[in-house]
Structure 1
Amino acid sequence: MLADLGSGACDAVIVYNLDRLHRRPVELEEFVALCESVGVRDVATVTADIDLGNDDGLFMARIFAAFAAKESGRKSARIRRKMLQNAEQGLPHGSVRPFGYEDDKITLRNSEAAVVREMVDRYLAGQSLLSLTVWLNDSGVSPAVAKSWQTSAVRQILCSGRIAGLREHRGEVIGPAKWPAIITPAERDRILARIAARAVTKTRAARTYVLSGMLRCGRCGNRLYSQARHSNPGHRVRRYVCLKGPDHGGCGRLTVVAEPVEALLTDAVLTRLDSRDLAKVLAGKASPNHDVAALAAAVEADQTRLDELAGLYADGAISAREWIAARDPITSRIQQARRDIAEATDTSEVYELAGTGGALRVRWPDLDVERQRSIVKSILDHAVIAPGTPGSRSLDINRVQPHWRI
């Protein structure tokens, strides 16, 4: 609608009630500013028409927006209280069936509960999360929602208070649940202690790969992972590899040596920083289309709407189909707004770097890997690496296809 107003495709707005158009005063002010810029004055509702072109009409619109904001806030608070009350009573929440339980989220699904029991026994006996994930996939056990098991899903189940008969709210255990437990709270404490101990013992080394997360396999499209090969004692070859497995999902059939591809793409990035093509693109973006503060406020407002919807569904006021129909467009708006925020913020560094490719080339060896990555990532979205010729000892530049962020 806003796009149609801005383009001149429509010259009036018809809405059932004004609070269906805006529930936050800041949204109204943005709408009024747009209407003024394109000469649109009339807003028609079933109760009254509003002329935004005069002081009285604008005054009434602002009053309606203030009342709508107050009512929305009261409704959100009421829903949050209801969700907390349900949590304190140990009642389930959410629309997705938890693994180990039936659709009512109360009754045990015995076949899956037995799997959870074995997952816990195996983990406490010393198996890793990855080995559990491989075991689940090899055993043909289907997760509740996804097509296959991932390590993150296994960790989530093992750490959840649900399988220990505990009700959680906003990540905190607040009491016993109405559903039966699969394991004891003491066993869950042992699981959490082991996971915490492993997290403490893991120390992350400084990055040594400039292009981590920015390369894609030309065979299957999955990302390439950094992995060194020790061919001879004392000789370490840094590589980017397509990996198979439950947490990677690649084909496992492509490898590229890191040093030549990093040198090639670094040179391409520094050359692009000084190019006329980039200057033209930046000139076209000189007036940003996105107000980051407004986008962030829109995301917050839509998150509130999602909370309201969840509360209505939990209370039985709307059906699952109605909840999904209302949720999907809100979720899409949130995702688009976040992409717009990323675009508006990610290009800010490019404006500062444009025209500095030559100077950066001289300083490049003295920059740490994190800074090198930041510069490359500001320009390069990703690069696709095509399969190479077996036995080749050098990088064929035709294997590398960069996809520019800007």
Structure 2
Amino acid sequence: MVRSCVEPSIARTVDRENDVDSLPHPAEGGPIPVASYARTSQDSPASDARGVRRQHRINERTAREHGCVVVATYADNACSATKEDRNRPAFERLLADLHGGRGSDSRRLAGVVAVADDRLYRRPEDFIRYMAALTSAPGRVHVDRDGLRDPYGEVGLLRGVDSLRAAAEEGRIRGRRVQDWHWSRAMEGLPHSGPRPFGWQEDRRTLHTVESELVRRAVEDRIAGKSIGEVARRWCALGITGTRGGRPNPQTVTQILTAPRVCGFRAHRGELLTDARTGEPLLGTWQVIVTPEQWTAVCATFSAGSLYKHRGPLAPRLTGRRAGPSYLASGFLRCGAEVAGGGTCDQPMGGGKSTRSLRSPYNYRCDGAAGRGCGKCAISGPLVEEAIARLLFPEDAPGAGRLPDSIRSRWCAGEMGFDEKRRVIASVFERLVIRPGKKGSPIWDHSRVVPVWRRADSPGKAEPEA
């Protein structure tokens, strides 16, 4: 009689909660083999992964209490499940093994145990992927401190959704709390809590003798007109590395020089913090490298989108689009200089302005500042583009070259735009190898530009995609 008074949908839910026949039972064939998953967002102070070890210990106890046995373990130590760009290798292996039905030791997997749902997922995408992997075979269970959960039924699914909602809300609140904490520290003039900034000691207040002098000299040189690439190459030649071990490149050096901290100013999330009463910038509690006037002057030598305040951590770009190439052959050129041990450098060559020659206001260079290229090869930009035009439209075969006459006439008449020219180049060449030239030679040697045709077997039939 009571059953008839319950609404049909609620009755089905109650039935599903009481229906355990669909779940595996230990008595049917021993304990249920499950995988134990553990994850921490941050490692312990001792960096000994004790957090994930504790979770696995709890998972083993939970599995025993509910008639299961752990046959495989997966741990992501110091891995966030909230941020989209964070990779969790163990979680990915768990999903793959669930789809395969067996762990790394080929033992059957019939479920997963975790101390809480938010250890497994905090984002809807991960929840969907986890449920798809778990239910890719029949008869599996999800195990937590509350017992066995049926992932195939409505109740089990709704419990998972509720956990996801709670985890998302907790992540939002925690993120706001962390932002407020960083802002409060910044308003008090305290240094940030991340890796030490280049130029300061580990206490983030005392200047690093060598690094601070490099920054001071670089600021002065940049104000005097030197290129940032030259500064980066000089630092690399001295064997300087960043605070995370990377080699200096123009972008990182730009960030260092234009960071407000170099003159004692405090910034937060791309904004310069000021006193609410006076409007003056807030000063930090650390030693400064240059004066505010020098910092302002060096910032004025860069475009706005390159500044630390616009390109620093957590700060958005000034525009919502990625900058495209500025030079016609950018992305197509490879360095052909020989390297030690045989072979060629084969690294991309980027374009840049040059003040050494009116005939060549820009050039293409193999940049060795980032530690990838050899830095031994450079070539005039107009020379490269003239050589490309000769390869595309050979004078000794008018009308019978690689491209139709319509393309030739529009290119030569200046009627073709920058993007369309790049599409034509991409349709004909795989790449263009640049051979090293003779230093001081006044003659343009077009043979330095060696093409690698996109259709080397039948170059006469290649057609552009323009």
TM-score normalised to structure 1 length: 0.57
Q: Does 1:221 align with 2:346?
A: yes
Query: 1:176 pairs with 283, 293, 305, which one?
Result: 283
Cα distance in structure 1, aligned partners of 2:450 and 2:224: 48
CA contact (8 A) 2:334 2:349 kept: yes
Task: Give the match for residue 310 of structure 2.
Answer: none
Q: Could you tell me how far 1:262 is from its partner in structure 2?
A: 8.0
Kindly provide the CA deviation profile for residues 11-65 of structure 1, in whole angstroms up to 9, marking residues without a partner as x. Answer: 4223232221122345324433454454464112243221011222222222222
Kindly provide the CA deviation profile for residues 249-279 of structure 1, in whole angstroms up to 9, marking residues without a partner as x. Answer: 434358795567689899xxxxxxxxxxxxx
Query: Number of residue pairs matched?
Result: 299
Cα distance in structure 1, aligned partners of 2:182 and 2:222: 33
Q: Could you tell me how far 1:135 is from its partner in structure 2?
A: 4.6
Q: Could you tell me how far 1:76 is from its partner in structure 2?
A: 1.5
The SS at the match of 2:198 is: coil
Q: Does 1:64 align with 2:163?
A: yes
Q: Percent identity?
A: 25
Query: Could you tell me which amino acid in structure 2 is paired with residue 160 of structure 1?
Result: A
Query: Could you tell me which amino acid in structure 2 is paired with residue 57 of structure 1?
Result: G
Task: Give the match for residue 187 of structure 2.
Answer: 88
Task: Give the match for residue 97 of structure 2.
Answer: 4
Query: Could you tell me which amino acid in structure 1 is paired with residue 260 of structure 2?
Result: G
CA RMSD of aligned residues (A): 4.7
Query: Could you tell me which amino acid in structure 2 is paired with residue 224 of structure 1?
Result: M
The structure where helix makes up a greater share of residues is 1
Task: Give the match for residue 28 of structure 2.
Answer: none
Kindly provide the CA deviation profile for residues 64-119 of structure 1, in whole angstroms up to 9, marking residues without a partner as x. Answer: 22222222222122111111111112222243322221011111223433333333
Larger deviation: 142-151 or 97-106? 142-151
Cα distance in structure 2, aligned partners of 1:206 and 1:98: 31
Query: 1:123 pairs with 222, 233, 241, which one?
Result: 222
Q: Does 1:246 align with 2:369?
A: yes
| Aligned counterparts, 1:350-389, within 5 A | 368-373=417-422, 383=431, 385=433
Distance 1:146 1:31, change over 3 A: closer
Higher-Rg structure is 2
Cα distance in structure 1, aligned partners of 2:390 and 2:136: 49
Unaligned runs of 5+ in 1: 267-359
| Aligned counterparts, 1:202-281, within 5 A | 209=328, 211-218=329-336, 219-225=344-350, 243=366, 246=369, 249-253=373-377
Cα distance in structure 1, aligned partners of 2:98 and 2:255: 46
Cα distance in structure 1, aligned partners of 2:213 and 2:436: 47
The SS at the match of 2:272 is: strand
Kindly provide the CA deviation profile for residues 350-379 of structure 1, in whole angstroms up to 9, marking residues without a partner as x. Answer: xxxxxxxxxx97875556341453587699
Query: 1:189 pairs with 296, 314, 326, which one?
Result: 296
| Aligned counterparts, 1:11-90, within 5 A | 11-36=110-135, 38-39=137-138, 41-90=140-189
Larger deviation: 120-129 or 56-65? 120-129
CA contact (8 A) 2:349 2:367 kept: no
CA contact (8 A) 2:122 2:164 kept: yes
Q: Could you tell me how far 1:398 is from its partner in structure 2?
A: 6.8
Q: Could you tell me how far 1:223 is from its partner in structure 2?
A: 0.6
Q: Could you tell me how far 1:394 is from its partner in structure 2?
A: 9.3
The SS at the match of 2:196 is: coil
CA contact (8 A) 1:215 1:223 kept: yes
The SS at the match of 2:115 is: coil
TM-score normalised to structure 2 length: 0.51
Task: Give the match for residue 37 of structure 2.
Answer: none
Q: Could you tell me how far 1:226 is from its partner in structure 2?
A: 5.2
Query: Could you tell me which amino acid in structure 2 is paired with residue 129 of structure 1?
Result: I
Cα distance in structure 1, aligned partners of 2:208 and 2:190: 18
Larger deviation: 131-140 or 56-65? 131-140
Unaligned runs of 5+ in 2: 1-93, 103-108, 274-281, 307-322, 337-343, 394-402, 411-415, 439-444, 457-466
